[in-house]
Structure formats: structure tokens, C-alpha cells
């Protein structure tokens, strides 16, 4: 997945590979390192091809850590809806027997905590512990939660009334806190490993001069990370078959064991990582700077050090770079508010769409294996988009800037839910139970599904995957590039944290997530997502020329 030039010229893989050697090993940065490089002039920035640099091996180590965490998360979460919804006596595997609506609400509650936890933990990362220490600590908490989940899913524990429910509750809280710490830190931690803070000019062996672009390199790293976590998320294939044919305990044991890969990779290679030091608590400074800006006429220029010194004889503990970051942080939050409905649409993958698959002919495969078609689609579509679509647009001089990419991603998310709406309508039109699947006498206590093929769900997941590729990675790049050094974890966490809003909305609407309401349910989500897409484009399209990610 080769990052493409940003000036409209197509860069080849050879151009990227030919870029010179990376400093080894990656140790703490100094200004001297970058001062020895040739800065591009404005003309060179316009005229030369922009390419990504070779990335240090510490990036791949960090990618492996993040991928191992995602392996565990998807392995567990793919099984969770069945574990909650169905009972041990049902034809579909399960434990607690809560039913679809209550199981969906509980699933949403877990996802709210998973996506809200990064916000306070990011403050801890940037202010006190640092990203490396928070990842190690969070992974350790994650391991404890996974151990409890595994032990309380064993047959002896299931035989004890209330043991599995209590164990699940405690384990999911610990797992959510562990995930939160990793999610708050892993994206900026990966980008931290790249040592060059600015773009520079390099002469290739062929004599051609190129701009080695930091933003293109970060995009290249994030795209590969996105690809790897989608490979890791195929863990759901293994855990769903283990759930069906062995038991939930075996699926949770696999996840517990695999999480050790992340912890060992962090501890064993600790001297190979660049560990950005914590900057102390920045939120008081941000709030004070914003307050001085409000008092000075609703402009942050009033909070500049020289202005405060000249007008008020006051020394302030920040510089202009910090103020620029403080200005960008609210914009990032404003920008991120377009994402909750996207996350809500994507979240259907791990609850209601699993239930929808359970209403159809599955031909012996577990119904909760269907979400794995989403990462499979990402694995297939990602390289096609990166190595075919983007070069084609560059050769045709067709700009495809960040806001446009995100808007296209939003549109594909809407299309995926539109497909789910149509499929649900077909499910209701066929027998034996029509608008009440698995709930009529003809279903023989839920053993006879609707007469429709489960693989008709696959296009839904492919459309969703294309949407993710365009809008999720671009959103992360945008947040990282505009955040000040002292707030990168916080800004990334705020971006991820908007998902907690979506899952809170999911809890509110989960009582409606039951038959025979599902056509209206999916159709309403489709309509809201399309409205969000149009509104986002109209509101942010003017930023496209100014935003460089």
C-alpha cells in the first residue's frame, strides 16, 4: 500500500523504495538530525514528487503490538452478541439468554466504555505516564480481564448460577479500560517512531530529486497499520468456530494467550522504541490560553506570549506553536462530531447484523462469522485503492483531498446500511415465519431459519469496508497532523471517543432493534447517515485546500 505523491504526480513503488537509508536505531530526536537535511523550497514543494520515507523497524514492532490487541478485541467482540443473546439450550450458541434487544443494549454499553475510556487515559498518557508506559499498563489490565472472561466461561463456572454473568461484567470493564489505554496511545506511538519532524529533499541514485514528505510517510504507516489490524481481526473466524464446536471458553482462551504477544513485544523490545516524554498536564494551559483569547476579543492572538508581555507585563508558559495546537484542538473536536453516526452504522456489524445472519440459512457456519467479511473486504480493497485508484486519479490530475475522501467514506457507510435495509425486507417476505423470524411454530423452536441465503449479507460488509478505508484512516491522520506534540494522545482519544456517543445512541434506540421493526430501524440509520454525509461536505469542503494530511 504505497503512499502517493501529494502534488498530483504519480510516484512509483521504485521511487519509494529507492529513498535513502533511515537512521538506525531510532533514538530520541534532536534538532541537529533534521538540520543536516535539505529543506524543500516552496517551488520544490510544488514541483517535485512527494514520496514516503523508509520507516524504522520500531514502527513495525508497534504495529505488531496494535495488531495483537485488535486480534483479541475482535476475537472476543465477535462472540459477545451470541454469548449475551442466546441461552445454552438454543440452537444458536449462547450463555446468558438476554434476547436480541437486551443483548444489543449490553453490547452497546461495553462499546461506550471502550470508546470513552481513551479520553481520560489520554490525559494520563500525555500528562504523566507517557504513551509507552500507558500501553504496557493497559495491556496488563487487559490480560487480567481476559483471564477472568476465560475462567468464568468454563463449564464448571457456567453451572454456577450468576457466576458467568458476574464474571462477564467484571471482565468487560477491565477489558474496556485496557483497550482504552491502548487506543489512546497506539496511533500517536506509531507515528512517534518516525524521527524526521519535517519534509526534506533527497537525491535518488537515478539523479532524480524528490521531497521525502513526513505527512505522506505517516499516511503510509497508518495505511499499513489499518491493513494489519484488519488481518488481525480475522481472529473472529477462529473464535466463532471454537464457540460453536468447542465452547466459548476455548475462544476466550485463544484471545488471552494471544494478548501476551502485545505485552512481550512492548517489554522485550523496550530499548528499541522512541518514548516521547510526557509533557505534564496541558489542559490547564489550554483552558487558560482559550480564556485569555476570549478576554482579548475572541482571538487567540491575544494569548500570544509577546502580546501578553507587552500589554499585561505577564509571562505565559506557552509559545506560538502551542497556541496553534490549542486552536486546532477545538477544530478537531468539531470535525470529529460528524463521526458518531458512522460508528453507529459500523457498530451494527457486531450486534444486529449478527442477529440478522442468524435468521437466514447459514449452511452450518456460525452466524457470527459473517462480520469477518468486513476485514476481508478491507484487506482486498485497501491495496486496490492505494495502488490503483489513487495513482489513476493522480495521473488524470484529479485531486482527491481529505474532506472529499471522508465524504466518500461516509457515503459508502450509508450504502452499506441501505443494503442491510433491503436484505431485511427480503427476509420478512419469505417463510416460514415472515415478519417474525425464528419465532413461529413452523421454525420448530428456532431451528428452521428463513428461506434466504446468509451470503447475501456479504455486499453490506464490502460497502462498509470501502467506507472505513476512506473515512477512518483519513480522520486519524488529520487529528495527528494538527495536534500539538503535547496533546497528540488527547486529540486522538477525542476522535476515537466520539464512538462512545454513537454507542450511547445505540443504547437509546436498542429497544427498537427487534422484529418486525428492523426494516424501519436500518432504513432510519441509512437516512441519517446520508444527511450527515451531505452536511459534512457542505460544512467542511472549504478546508480541503488548506488541510494537508
pLDDT tens figures, 528-546: 999 999 999 998 888 776 5
Higher pLDDT, 416 or 482: 416
Q: What is the pLDDT of residue 68?
A: 95
Determine whether 134 is exposed, middle or buried from the number of CB atoms within 10 Å of its CB (0-12, 13-18, 19+): buried
Q: What is the pLDDT of residue 401?
A: 81
Residues 270 and 335 in one domain: no
Q: Is 363 left (phi over 0), alpha (psi -120 to 50) or beta?
A: left
Higher pLDDT, 15 or 341: 341
Residues 140 and 219 in one domain: yes
Higher pLDDT, 432 or 492: 432
Higher pLDDT, 388 or 267: 267
Is residue 38 very low, low, confident or very high in pLDDT (cuts 50, 70, 90)? confident
Is 292 within the bounds of a domain? no
pLDDT tens-place string over residues 45-67: 878 888 888 889 999 999 999 99
Is 248 within the bounds of a domain? yes
Residues 399 and 488 in one domain: yes
Residues 103 and 241 in one domain: yes
Is residue 16 very low, low, confident or very high in pLDDT (cuts 50, 70, 90)? very low
Ranges 91-95, 162-166, 234-238, 311-315: which has the least confidence? 311-315
512: pLDDT strictly greater than 60? yes
Distance CA 547, CA 494 (A): 19
Ranges 14-28, 93-107, 327-341: which has the least confidence? 14-28
pLDDT tens-place string over residues 290-303: 778 788 777 777 88
pLDDT tens-place string over residues 318-350: 777 777 766 666 666 677 888 999 999 988 987
Is 46 within the bounds of a domain? no
28: pLDDT strictly greater than 90? no
Tell me if 53 sits within 8 A of 201, measured CB to CB: no
Q: Is 66 left (phi over 0), alpha (psi -120 to 50) or beta?
A: alpha
Within 10 A of 284 (CB to CB), how many other CB atoms are there? 11
Q: What is the pLDDT of residue 327?
A: 66
pLDDT tens-place string over residues 362-375: 998 888 889 889 98
21: pLDDT strictly greater than 60? no
Place of cell 494467550: 257
pTM score of the predicted model: 0.75
Q: In degrees, to the nearest 5, what angle opens at C-alpha 308 toward C-alphas 307 and 311?
A: 75
Is 34 within the bounds of a domain? no
> Residue 340 sits in which domain range?
331-548
Which residues are registered as beta bridge partners of 202?
210
Tell me if 355 sits within 8 A of 446, measured CB to CB: no
pLDDT tens-place string over residues 183-231: 889 988 999 999 888 889 998 888 889 889 888 888 788 888 988 998 9
Number of H helices, E strands in the chain: 23, 3
Place of cell 522504541: 273
Residues 498 and 413 in one domain: yes
Residues 114 and 245 in one domain: yes
259: pLDDT strictly greater than 90? yes
Distance CA 60, CA 58 (A): 5
- Chain mean pLDDT for the chain: 84
Q: What is the pLDDT of residue 312?
A: 82
When pLDDT is averaged across residues 113-139 and rounded to a whole number, the result is 89
Higher pLDDT, 67 or 44: 67
What is the gyration radius of the CA atoms in the chain, in angstroms?
A: 25
- Percent of the chain at pLDDT > 90 equals 41
Is residue 36 very low, low, confident or very high in pLDDT (cuts 50, 70, 90)? low
When pLDDT is averaged across residues 104-130 and rounded to a whole number, the result is 86
Q: What is the pLDDT of residue 7?
A: 36
Is residue 35 very low, low, confident or very high in pLDDT (cuts 50, 70, 90)? low
Contacts (Cβ under 8 Å, ≥6 apart) of 383: 1, 227
30: pLDDT strictly greater than 50? no
Residues 485 and 380 in one domain: yes
CATH code for the domain of 374: 1.20.1250.20
Is 24 within the bounds of a domain? no
17: pLDDT strictly greater than 50? no
Number of domains in the chain: 2
Is 116 within the bounds of a domain? yes
Contacts (Cβ under 8 Å, ≥6 apart) of 396: none
Answer positive or negative: Cα dihedral of 302, 307, 309, 311: negative
Residues 242 and 359 in one domain: no
Backbone angles phi, psi at 54, to 5 degrees: -70, 140
Is 345 within the bounds of a domain? yes
Q: What is the pLDDT of residue 529?
A: 95
Q: What is the pLDDT of residue 13?
A: 32
Residues 153 and 242 in one domain: yes
Q: What is the pLDDT of residue 254?
A: 97
Place of cell 452504522: 345
436: pLDDT strictly greater than 70? yes
pLDDT tens-place string over residues 471-507: 888 887 777 777 766 677 777 777 888 888 888 888 8
Tell me if 85 sits within 8 A of 98, measured CB to CB: yes
Is 158 within the bounds of a domain? yes
Q: What is the pLDDT of residue 519?
A: 95
Q: What is the pLDDT of residue 333?
A: 63
pLDDT tens-place string over residues 520-529: 999 999 999 9
Q: What is the DSSP letter of 96?
A: B
Q: Is 30 left (phi over 0), alpha (psi -120 to 50) or beta?
A: beta
Q: What is the DSSP letter of 366?
A: -
Question: What spatial distance separates the first Cα and last Cα of the chain, rounded to whole Å?
Answer: 16
Smallest CA-to-CA distance from 5 within 197, 202, 216, 218 is with: 216
The three cell numbers locating residue 1: 500500500
Contacts (Cβ under 8 Å, ≥6 apart) of 262: 64, 65, 66, 68, 69, 72, 139, 182
Tell me if 386 sits within 8 A of 4, measured CB to CB: yes
Q: What is the pLDDT of residue 307?
A: 86
Question: Dihedral, CA atoms, 69, 71, 77, 78, nearest 10 degrees?
Answer: 170
Residues 61 and 194 in one domain: yes
Residues 430 and 522 in one domain: yes
Distance CA 105, CA 85 (A): 10
When pLDDT is averaged across residues 81-99 and rounded to a whole number, the result is 89
Residues 263 and 405 in one domain: no
Starting at the earlier edge strand, list the strands of the sheet with 200-203. Answer: 50-51, 209-212, 200-203
Amino acid at each position: 500500500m504505497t503512499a502517493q505523491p501529494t502534488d498530483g504526480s504519480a510516484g512509483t513503488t521504485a521511487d519509494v523504495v529507492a529513498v535513502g537509508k533511515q537512521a538506525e536505531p531510532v533514538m530520541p530526536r534532536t534538532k541537529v538530525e533534521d538540520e543536516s537535511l535539505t529543506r524543500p523550497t516552496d517551488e520544490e514543494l510544488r514541483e517535485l514528487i512527494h514520496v514516503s520515507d523508509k520507516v524504522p523497524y520500531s514502527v513495525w514492532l508497534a504495529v505488531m503490538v496494535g495488531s495483537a490487541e485488535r486480534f483479541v478485541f475482535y476475537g472476543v467482540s465477535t462472540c459477545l452478541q451470541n454469548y449475551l443473546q442466546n441461552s445454552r439450550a438454543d440452537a444458536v450458541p449462547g450463555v446468558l439468554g438476554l434476547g436480541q434487544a437486551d443483548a444489543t443494549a449490553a453490547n452497546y454499553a461495553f462499546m461506550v466504555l471502550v470508546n470513552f475510556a481513551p479520553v481520560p487515559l489520554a490525559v494520563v498518557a500525555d500528562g504523566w505516564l507517557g504513551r509507552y508506559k500507558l500501553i504496557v499498563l493497559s495491556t496488563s489490565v487487559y490480560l487480567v480481564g481476559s483471564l477472568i472472561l476465560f475462567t468464568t466461561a468454563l463449564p464448571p463456572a457456567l453451572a454456577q448460577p450468576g457466576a458467568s454473568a458476574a464474571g462477564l461484567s467484571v471482565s468487560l470493564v477491565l477489558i474496556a479500560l485496557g483497550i482504552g489505554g491502548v487506543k489512546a496511545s497506539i496511533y500517536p506511538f506509531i507515528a512517534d517512531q518516525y524521527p524526521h519532524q519535517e519534509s526534506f529533499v533527497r537525491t535518488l541514485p537515478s539523479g532524480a530529486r524528490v521531497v521525502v514528505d513526513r505527512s505522506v510517510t505517516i499516511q503510509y504507516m497508518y495505511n499499513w497499520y489499518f491493513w494489519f489490524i484488519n488481518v488481525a481481526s480475522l481472529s473472529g473466524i477462529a473464535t466463532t468456530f471454537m464457540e460453536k464446536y468447542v465452547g466459548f471458553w476455548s475462544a476466550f482462551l485463544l484471545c488471552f494467550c494471544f494478548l501476551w504477544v502485545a505485552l512481550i513485544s512492548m517489554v522485550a523490545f523496550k530499548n528499541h522504541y522512541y518514548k516521547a516524554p510526557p509533557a505534564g498536564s496541558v489542559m490547564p494551559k489550554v483552558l487558560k490560553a482559550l480564556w485569555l483569547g476570549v478576554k482579548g476579543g475572541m482571538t487567540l492572538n491575544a494569548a500570544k506570549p509577546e502580546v501578553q508581555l507587552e500589554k499585561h507585563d505577564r509571562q505565559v508558559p506557552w509559545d506560538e506553536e502551542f497556541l496553534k495546537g490549542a486552536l486546532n484542538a477545538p477544530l478537531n473536536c468539531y470535525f470529529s462530531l460528524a463521526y458518531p453516526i458512522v460508528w453507529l452504522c459500523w457498530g451494527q456489524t457486531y450486534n444486529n447484523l449478527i442477529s440478522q445472519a442468524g435468521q437466514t440459512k447459514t449452511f452450518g457456519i456460525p452466524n457470527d462469522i459473517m462480520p469477518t467479511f468486513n476485514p476481508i473486504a478491507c484487506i482486498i480493497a485497501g491495496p486496490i485503492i492505494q495502488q490503483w485508484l489513487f495513482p489513476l486519479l493522480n495521473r488524470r490530475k484529479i485531486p482527491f483531498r481529505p474532506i472529499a475522501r471522508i465524504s466518500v467514506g461516509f457515503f459508502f457507510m450509508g450504502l452499506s446500511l441501505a443494503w442491510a435495509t433491503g436484505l431485511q425486507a427480503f427476509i420478512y417476505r419469505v417463510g416460514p415465519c415472515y415478519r417474525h423470524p425464528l419465532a413461529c411454530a413452523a421454525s420448530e423452536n428456532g431451528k428452521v431459519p428463513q428461506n434466504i441465503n446468509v451470503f447475501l449479507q456479504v455486499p453490506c460488509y464490502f460497502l462498509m469496508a470501502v467506507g472505513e478505508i476512506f473515512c477512518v484512516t483519513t480522520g486519524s491522520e488529520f487529528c495527528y497532523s494538527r495536534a500539538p506534540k503535547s496533546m497528540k494522545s488527547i486529540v486522538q482519544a477525542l476522535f476515537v471517543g466520539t464512538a462512545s456517543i454513537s454507542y450511547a445512541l445505540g443504547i437509546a434506540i436498542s429497544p427498537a432493534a427487534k422484529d418486525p421493526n428492523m426494516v424501519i430501524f436500518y432504513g432510519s440509520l441509512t437516512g441519517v447517515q446520508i444527511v450527515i454525509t451531505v452536511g459534512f461536505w457542505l460544512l467542511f469542503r472549504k478546508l480541503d485546500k488548506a488541510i494537508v494530511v
